[in-house]
């Protein structure tokens, strides 16, 4: 099979699931990862045969069933670092890269920081890689996610204190922090219908969804925790859901946070919040 035939087969298999632009984006990512060449080079050499042995058929079958490309490849790039990705944790998103960038842009090296609901470890590892002298802690309720996060910390050469904890419980024993950051579950169950099949069927349900009756469940618990565990002039950063962004701003104000700031993502949607704690 030459490259042109493979491209045609690949796009035909994915077209029932994705639009033309997304099919093309997935294909370019696959080519770059599997063939280790730039996409323009692939296009210039369309009549060349595909190298062997690479399991294209198995990969294409998984992709055609809706499995995310990041899980099929087993890795993704986040903040210019390589992260292992599989079904143990959510795939790191570009929006979360924006959150990390905002934190780095507005803070110097922190003394001690905490990532709540670390998942793959993307936030904690990225900040630990940039702030080498910072004590970085990360917690998650999922032992599987923590195992993946530890692998990503080792892969990127950083030291992080990981612990399995449930932020919804009141008996969490942790020190005080200069910065707390979290991208918790925030999609109301009623909005499940709006998500793509590859998200619903493959990524961890509990890391995505919250009850319709209490969509701010995790934000409330984290804000309460932060009000007790942030040092004076410590900061809290959230990735949020646009449907209740304004309600979260009011909640933080009610807890006593000040200098509450909102920021839109690259699509212009209200996505991020920061707040200062003065004790």
160 and 47 assigned to the same domain = no
- Choosing from 50, 65, 80, the residue where a domain stops is 65
Residue 85 is predicted with a pLDDT of 98
Residue 54 is predicted with a pLDDT of 67
- Does 221 map to a domain? yes
Per-10-residue mean pLDDT of the chain, 279 residues long, equals 91 94 95 89 88 79 94 96 97 96 91 97 98 96 98 98 94 93 95 85 92 95 97 97 92 98 94 96
Give the number of domains in the chain.
Answer: 2
CATH number for the domain spanning 217: value is 3.40.50.150
What is the number of other CB atoms lying within 10 angstroms of the CB of residue 224? 14
Residue 242 is predicted with a pLDDT of 87
Q: What's the whole-model pTM score?
A: 0.93
Separation CA 123–CA 236 (nearest Å): 14
59 and 126 assigned to the same domain = no
Separation CA 191–CA 258 (nearest Å): 31
Residue 57 is predicted with a pLDDT of 86
- Does 205 map to a domain? yes
Separation CA 58–CA 251 (nearest Å): 48
Pairing of strands 81-84, 75-78: antiparallel
20 and 92 assigned to the same domain = no
The contacts of residue 247 (CB under 8 Å, 6+ apart) are 216
227 and 272 assigned to the same domain = yes
Separation CA 105–CA 6 (nearest Å): 43
Range of the domain at 102: 88-277
- Does 12 map to a domain? yes
């Amino acid at each position: 099979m030459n490259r042109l035939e493979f491209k045609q087969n690949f796009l035909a298999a994915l077209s029932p699931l994705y639009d033309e632009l997304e099919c093309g984006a997935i294909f370019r990512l696959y080519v770059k990862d599997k063939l280790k060449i730039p996409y323009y080079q692939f296009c210039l050499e369309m009549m060349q045969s595909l190298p062997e042995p690479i399991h294209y058929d198995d990969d294409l079958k998984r992709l055609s069933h809706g499995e995310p490309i990041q899980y099929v490849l087993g890795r993704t790039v986040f903040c210019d670092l390589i992260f292992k990705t599989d079904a143990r944790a959510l795939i790191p998103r570009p929006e979360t890269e924006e959150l990390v960038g905002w934190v780095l842009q507005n803070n110097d090296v922190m003394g001690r920081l905490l990532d709540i609901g670390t998942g793959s470890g993307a936030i904690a590892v990225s900040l630990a890689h940039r702030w080498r002298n910072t004590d970085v802690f990360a917690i998650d309720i999922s032992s599987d996610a923590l195992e993946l996060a530890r692998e990503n910390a080792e892969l990127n050469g950083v030291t992080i204190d990981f612990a399995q904890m449930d932020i919804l419980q009141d008996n969490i024993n942790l020190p005080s922090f200069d910065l707390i950051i979290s991208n918790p579950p925030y999609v109301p169950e009623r909005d499940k219908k709006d998500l793509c099949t590859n998200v619903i069927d493959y990524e961890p349900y509990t890391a995505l969804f919250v009850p319709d009756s209490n969509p701010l469940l995790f934000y409330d618990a984290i804000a309460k925790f932060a009000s007790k565990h942030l040092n004076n002039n410590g900061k809290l950063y959230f990735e949020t859901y646009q449907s209740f962004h304004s309600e979260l701003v009011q909640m933080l104000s009610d807890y006593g946070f000040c200098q509450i700031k909102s920021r839109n993502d690259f699509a212009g949607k209200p996505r991020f919040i920061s707040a200062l704690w003065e004790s």
